[in-house]
Structure 1
Amino acid sequence: MPSKKFWKSLRQLPVTLAAIVFSIFLLGVAAAVSLMPEMPGMSVAALVAVLVSLAGLTTGVIVLLTRAKARPRTADPQYEGLLDVFPCPALITDRNGKVLQFAPMITTVLTGVEIGAPVFGFFGEHAPRAHTLLADCLEGRQAQGMCALTSDSYATSLARLGQGRVLWTFCNRTVIEEMPLPESYGEAPRLTLGRNGAILWMNNALRQMLGGTRRHARDAFVDPPVEHGRLITVRTNRAIRQYLAVELSREAGRRDILLVSPPAGTQRVEQPEIERLPVAILTCNADGALLSANRAARRLIYGDEATVRPLPVHLSGLLEGLGRSLTDWLKQVCDGQAPGQPEFMRLLEQDTERYVQVTLTPQLNGQDLPRVMVVLNDATDLKVMEAKFTQTQKMQAIGQLAGGVAHDFNNLLTAISGHCDLLLLRHEPQDPEYADLIQIAQNSNRAAALVSQLLAFSRKQTLNPERLDVGATLSDLTHLLNRLVGEKVNLKLQHKSETGPIRADKRQLEQVLMNLVVNARDAMPEGGEVRITASEQVLDMPIMRDRAQVPAGRYVLISVEDDGTGIPYEHQSKVFEPFFTSKKAGEGTGLGLSTAYGIVKQSGGYIFLSSTPGQGTRFDILLPVYGAEPAPVEIPAPEPVRIRHGDGRVLLVEDEAPVRAFASRALRMRGYEVVEAASAEEALRHFATPDFSVDVVVTDVIMPGMDGPTWVAEAMRTRPDLRVVFVSGYAEETFGDAKKIIANSVFLPKPFSLTDLTATVQEQMGEAVAA
């Protein structure tokens, strides 16, 4: 039996079929007449009938073939289903306006609709308006207008469907409201939108679906705007679903929208379009089973978009580091319980560490079968910068802690060593207690050296930078380094000529090299070789290494390398932290590398570690090449100072009572009159007295309340000739340029000895006498 589509096609070709049937009839008549030899005249008529019928039959066949060729061959069942769900007449054309498919309801608006016929013919005098609507639609503009197709005016709306198809809908407000909707749409969600997406009204069906009213489209829909013919995602109170937006009418900026369930198989974005997108996109089901990966995703995962490799069975085989179950996250997203917040995860099976930002978006088909679109953005650089920032913040915090501890220790050591000096003045070398006091003094000095390393790490020590030749510095240090490494270890020094000068504190640079060489020696208990090389390196562009970015420029590269046991990978990120050591208890303080780190950073350089367990370790130091400067002028060394009794008046401002007690006793022993103050505020109260006068002020820099430079500047408003000695457990650079704007001031670092203090005060008073 012929199908209904066959008979439908026959009804669309009545004239052609009539011609073919008439031709066949004439052939039959001619054949019958040819069987009558007794009627010769009829033979001529039969011949004529045969010729006419053959001509008609040929013409009919040509017409059929021509129409068959011109008839569209892509009547997509997906769009037939789409037309069936519309509650108003609709049809689909190609880009040129030729009808491809139409809904049965179209006959209520248009008559004589045929596949392949131009749609403009049904608009009559409104055909130019229809042309304009189609052009607007194809160019992405709003395509809606009123057209009189029958006795009523219809709101004609156009929407692009992809693959060159255009959806035409014809809605009459009166007809729509009176027309009985299909049973499945009797309670279809419906709303009225105003300008800018404000929701002016919604029916009970939509209100129940959302679990209450909403004021704006963005509060009700996952992906506004709500446009005619567009699939939109609705986050309901139970799940996430997709609906087709059908605009029933538009009047004075108000739009009446009906939400209908899309037919099975209707997809929001077609797979070929996803394949061409420059964003890495995966698709998976609600359980995490991977379904597809587009070109950008393959490029991100495999490094080559042309690589055809099987995807992991599950999303968890591709990503890790979520911190919770990936399956639970997918389920929450599909159920509408998790916000669309992206997460940072790590790609598995990569040659280097790669991070991606993962965003999940649910997609549902007509049967509410969830699929998830997984969008991946390469976040490796972002994570590297984040890790670098975190490490910098961590080292800065440790540095502040170390500097604070060093400051407090310097105060304690000043009191200990100072009072020890006072006791030594009252004992002769032959006294039994003299040796004990010497032990206290020596251990105080050792503690001061330890605190100095803390200040070096925190970059709060006082440096005396100068123009240095690296080759000469290494040559001068060779003898001392050879003594440090011992007989079992061979020290090899290689310095390439033509390296530019650097600007650094020579004593501190030597300390860095000694610390690195000692660590290399300890890593080779059975002996080996330590290699120190120096060369110039030019960076044409910034480089990223160990989460630090080194700017472009000229650098002197100093490398210290050994063949020792290496550093375990889990320890390598901590080696520059103070008090961290991988040595046995009692064999190291954990301050050698942290001191080196602080000195290098304070000198404007970089230090990097490269180590492989069992194969050795290499430290690379990059110091910027320093520009040429005039030859330094030789400054004669100051002559030794002989301490003598003074008769001046000293104001001592120190918040630490033990330090204040020692300093005041030391100055009084030298004959000075001492006025004590425990705070800056107390010192200013002394200066508020008109007849108060002092020759020298000795003040701490860091104190509770007002600091030293601030109160001194306040006092100098009325006493501009004030001479000041600043003392501090921090470095001189701690209070920046404050000392520069205070004339007649010098700096004395803590811990200081009795001799250091009295000599500095004597110099400020001008009482120094050449020995």
Structure 2
Amino acid sequence: MNAPPLQALTEDAAPRPTPLAPHAGDRWLVLIVGAAALFSGLLILWASQNLAIAAGFVATLVLIATLMLVFRRLYPPQQTVVGTIDWSLTREAADNDNAAVAITDRAGRLVCANDLFGAWFQGFPTPPSLAVGQAGITQLTAAGRDAWRDGQADVDLIEFNGMRFSARLLRSGQSDDHLLWRFRRHRTLDLRAEARRLIEGEGGDRLGEAGIMIALVGGEGRIRAANRAFVARAAGRADAPIEGRDFVTQLVSDREGVIRFAEEGAKGTALRLLQMPLEAGVIDSPTLLFLIDDEYAVSGRIGGPGGTGSHLQTLLSMLPLGLALTDRDGRFLFVNDAFARAAGIDEGTMPVYPGDLVVREDKAAVADTVRRFGAGQQALSGDIAVRLRNNPEEPVALTIAGARGLGEAAVLLSLKDSSEESKLKRQAEQATKMQAVGQLAGGVAHDFNNILTAIIGHSDLMLMRHAPGDSDYDDIQQIKSNSNRAAALTRQLLAFSRQQTLRPQVLQLPDVISEVSNLLKRLLGETVILNVSHGRNLGAVRADPGQLEQVIVNLVVNARDAMPKGGSVTIQTYAVPARDVRQMGSEILPIVDYTALKISDTGTGIASELLPKIFEPFFTTKEVGKGTGLGLSTVYGIVKQSGGFIFADSRLGEGTSFIIYLPVHDAEEAVETGPAPKVKQGELWGSGTILLVEDEDMVRAVAERALTRHGYTVLTASNGEDALEMLAQGVEIDLLISDVVMPTMDGPTMVRQARKTWPDLKILFMSGYAEEQLRKSIDLDRVAFLPKPFSVHQLAEATRAAIGAK
């Protein structure tokens, strides 16, 4: 800001006279000139005795005097007044000083001030009326009176906008009619500013490296500044905003008075707190608070004088065993991380007694045992079976031993974290159970398929002798229909045991969903809405489209049954690249690219305790008679046999979601073709000699009759040895049809022996087991396969295709 207009202030003090205005001195001059002119005129009149000459002379003198008077008034003489103050020179000198300067006159008006005065006091207020508070104004007013009286006065301390000033007042001027005000910055140390500079600067970093956390806390209890070490420990990261937080909330203390950072919780390092007020005796003065890690704050309670100290605590913390120490009264003194995990102790909720960890029924036993060991009544260790409060279903062994020579610590507790072991044990039991059930299901399905083959085959033979409309035709057709339903049941068993015969193809999931969408809409009805959405960049997968459709139908039907009052079913497909699988951190999914299929509903959901069981065979949540319990087990088997993975997520009242991950098919791999093209009905008849090997009499009989009716010459054998003997007799065989699993000698072994002599012998295997399972043990080429149960038509079709194959 500029200084006030000094020249205007001096002119107001001594105003300039208005031009041509009468003045006392001028009046006397007029009188003298007029008198002289009159006297001169009288003398001329007396001498010349001529009135005209005398009057002309007087008028001339008056005119000349009047002109001189006017000229004097218009152009007064310039006179230098001795003692006039040159304010511009004064202000120039004041601006070169290191102080804020102001000058006032006796009337209390500000007549001069330098720029620093305007900068410090936000303008040019007139002293003592500065914005320094009522106390400061009172000090300056009293100093002004003293300066007018004594010539000078001093003010030691004035505060304004966080700055501190001292002031000196001098009476000055030629007539001692002005007062000079000189303000200077107070030279005493500003502890608040210096403390903030130290904390937030390099000094604070050096203190942090030495393990000292420091914070400046105002009188209201809020943090004003803190070094990086304090911020990192209190807020979790060094760049977190800390200013303005309540200091007390950054710390917690336990029942023993040990303080820790709230961010670190009960497992954090104990701290020692030191405080230093910046201004002694001043209420609400800012305080410097120093926090130092104090390893003895806890370890001293464990060991006490001459005890274990921090070394025992460090040792127990490093051990993988769950260990804890209690005093003679049974109160916890120390708990390591392994013990806390095993006992289910949450951070910040440290119990007081060991009995607080177990169920109510075991509290008394634990408390009594700890008391006896703490009193020294038992010297050896002992185990006690307890049930933890957080997991009451599984008993655990709590080992208790007396501790001697450890100061306050009297009892040592050991608890093994068996959660992971129990989880692995349950998984192993589940896998063993599923494997056993799968083997049983596969064996039952194999035997059942043999029976169904005979039933279906005989039904086909009987239908050949009856035309539609006959009295027995409908009954035979019903027998065959029921047999096919039973065959579907065996396929479900084989799917669960991952022994189903699949015909995998390279396909796109949206195409499969499109094929089955019309069927799904009919199954869902009008009360359930079907939503379908597909993601982009979906990779092709390799699976049996028919079985994949069965998976979708089973999951959608289950979703419908879970929504008796209606709802919505959503089918989604999306790509899951390998990088996303890596981020998922799954221990089950290999890190490859997947195409995911998600089917979710808004139904009643599945309870969390039932989720691990939903894929088990014959497990169902439906009412008796409304479900076999094979739907989800079939889905599980098909997905696993296709190389995929399935996961379920459900919450009661919120719905259920199933996610299927199928690996993206590598285009460089050899693509297996689908099943061989079907032979037309007119081409089923053929000729040639067939050797039929089957240990099941009923299957052998129906197959023989079926092949004979289609024009073939059929030779039969009940086992592999008989078949080899027949071949050794030199019989010309066009096709060898054999069961795979037979007593004494199985089908593959027999074929290997036969091909040593007849390398071009054509083979058609038939079995109730899955083709994929059998091909792993059959290292033979040029082999066809026919799954059981089969119809007469299917047998004739497979035979015709095998004989015609080159």
TM-score range, shorter chain: 0.5 to 0.7
Gapped runs of 5+ residues in structure 2? Answer: 1-302
Shift of 1:365: 4.4
- In structure 2, C-alpha distance between the alignment counterparts of 1:359 and 1:569, rounded to whole Å: 29
- In structure 1, C-alpha distance between the alignment counterparts of 2:306 and 2:730, rounded to whole Å: 90
**What is the correspondence of 1:226-625 to structure 2 with a 5 Å cutoff?**
270=308, 272-277=310-315, 278-279=318-319, 280-283=322-325, 289=330, 291-297=332-338, 300=341, 309-311=349-351, 313-315=353-355, 317-318=357-358, 348-349=389-390, 360=399, 362-363=401-402, 365=404, 373-540=412-579, 549-625=588-664
Asked whether 1:658 is paired with 2:695, we answer: no
Other-structure match for 1:685? 725
Highest CA radius of gyration, 1 or 2?
2
Deviations 1:303-351 (A, max 9, x none): 999x5644253347248999xx8799999999799998x99x875449x
Instruction: Classify the secondary structure of the residue corresponding to 1:642.
Output: helix
TM-score relative to the length of structure 2: 0.54
- In structure 1, C-alpha distance between the alignment counterparts of 2:325 and 2:697, rounded to whole Å: 71
Contact 1:517/1:560 (CA < 8 Å) preserved in 2?
yes
Identical positions, percent: 41
Shift of 1:682: 2.7
Which AA in structure 2 matches 1:496?
G
**What is the correspondence of 1:137-286 to structure 2 with a 5 Å cutoff?**
270=308, 272-277=310-315, 278-279=318-319, 280-283=322-325
Deviations 1:238-270 (A, max 9, x none): xxxxxxxxxxxxxxxxxxxxxxxxxxx999993
Other-structure match for 1:766? 804
- In structure 2, C-alpha distance between the alignment counterparts of 1:681 and 1:321, rounded to whole Å: 69
- In structure 1, C-alpha distance between the alignment counterparts of 2:578 and 2:749, rounded to whole Å: 44
2:788 corresponds to which of 750, 759, 763: 750
Shift of 1:471: 2.6
Other-structure match for 2:713? 673
Change (3 A) 1:721 1:566: same
Shift of 1:394: 2.2
Change (3 A) 1:320 1:422: farther
Contact 2:679/2:797 (CA < 8 Å) preserved in 1?
no
Which AA in structure 2 matches 1:715?
A
Deviations 1:452-499 (A, max 9, x none): 121111111122222222233323332221111111110011212222
Q: Structure 1: which 4+ aligned runs deviate by more than 6 Å? A: 265-269, 301-305, 319-322, 325-340, 353-357, 541-548, 630-636
Which AA in structure 1 matches 2:692?
L
Contact 1:424/1:437 (CA < 8 Å) preserved in 2?
yes
Shift of 1:417: 0.6
Change (3 A) 1:281 1:632: closer
**What is the correspondence of 1:62-211 to structure 2 with a 5 Å cutoff?**
none
Shift of 1:690: 3.9
Contact 1:274/1:281 (CA < 8 Å) preserved in 2?
no
Other-structure match for 2:179? none
Change (3 A) 1:714 1:538: same
Contact 1:567/1:612 (CA < 8 Å) preserved in 2?
yes
Which AA in structure 2 matches 1:589?
T
Other-structure match for 2:740? 701
- In structure 1, C-alpha distance between the alignment counterparts of 2:448 and 2:368, rounded to whole Å: 53
Other-structure match for 1:136? none
- In structure 1, C-alpha distance between the alignment counterparts of 2:645 and 2:800, rounded to whole Å: 42
Change (3 A) 1:738 1:331: farther
Shift of 1:283: 3.4
Other-structure match for 1:642? 682
Contact 2:343/2:357 (CA < 8 Å) preserved in 1?
no
Contact 1:363/1:370 (CA < 8 Å) preserved in 2?
no
Instruction: Classify the secondary structure of the residue corresponding to 2:757.
Output: coil
Which AA in structure 1 matches 2:789?
P
Contact 1:646/1:767 (CA < 8 Å) preserved in 2?
no
Q: Which moved more, 1:527-536 or 1:701-710?
A: 701-710
Change (3 A) 1:631 1:492: farther
Shift of 1:355: 9.4
Instruction: Classify the secondary structure of the residue corresponding to 1:620.
Output: strand
Change (3 A) 1:418 1:383: same
Which AA in structure 2 matches 1:764?
A
Q: Which moved more, 1:478-487 or 1:465-474?
A: 465-474
- In structure 2, C-alpha distance between the alignment counterparts of 1:451 and 1:593, rounded to whole Å: 15
Change (3 A) 1:293 1:455: same
Instruction: Classify the secondary structure of the residue corresponding to 2:659.
Output: strand
Other-structure match for 2:56? none
Shift of 1:628: 3.4
Gapped runs of 5+ residues in structure 1? Answer: 1-264
Contact 1:301/1:347 (CA < 8 Å) preserved in 2?
no
Other-structure match for 1:66? none
Change (3 A) 1:319 1:467: farther
Other-structure match for 1:627? 666
Contact 2:382/2:401 (CA < 8 Å) preserved in 1?
no
Deviations 1:736-766 (A, max 9, x none): 2454x43432101101111221232233333
Which AA in structure 1 matches 2:463?
L
Shift of 1:502: 2.0
- In structure 2, C-alpha distance between the alignment counterparts of 1:329 and 1:642, rounded to whole Å: 88
Which AA in structure 2 matches 1:755?
H
Deviations 1:615-657 (A, max 9, x none): 2111111122223359979999455152565553222211212
Change (3 A) 1:552 1:644: closer
Contact 1:281/1:376 (CA < 8 Å) preserved in 2?
yes
Change (3 A) 1:400 1:519: same
Deviations 1:435-459 (A, max 9, x none): 1000001111111112112111111
Contact 1:650/1:697 (CA < 8 Å) preserved in 2?
yes
Which AA in structure 2 matches 1:703?
M
Number of aligned residues: 494
Shift of 1:430: 2.3
Shift of 1:356: 11
Shift of 1:680: 2.0
Change (3 A) 1:575 1:708: same
Contact 2:533/2:571 (CA < 8 Å) preserved in 1?
yes
- In structure 2, C-alpha distance between the alignment counterparts of 1:267 and 1:359, rounded to whole Å: 29
Contact 2:451/2:699 (CA < 8 Å) preserved in 1?
yes
Deviations 1:693-733 (A, max 9, x none): 42221111112232211221122112212211100011111
Instruction: Classify the secondary structure of the residue corresponding to 1:694.
Output: coil
Which AA in structure 1 matches 2:314?
R
Instruction: Classify the secondary structure of the residue corresponding to 1:751.
Output: coil
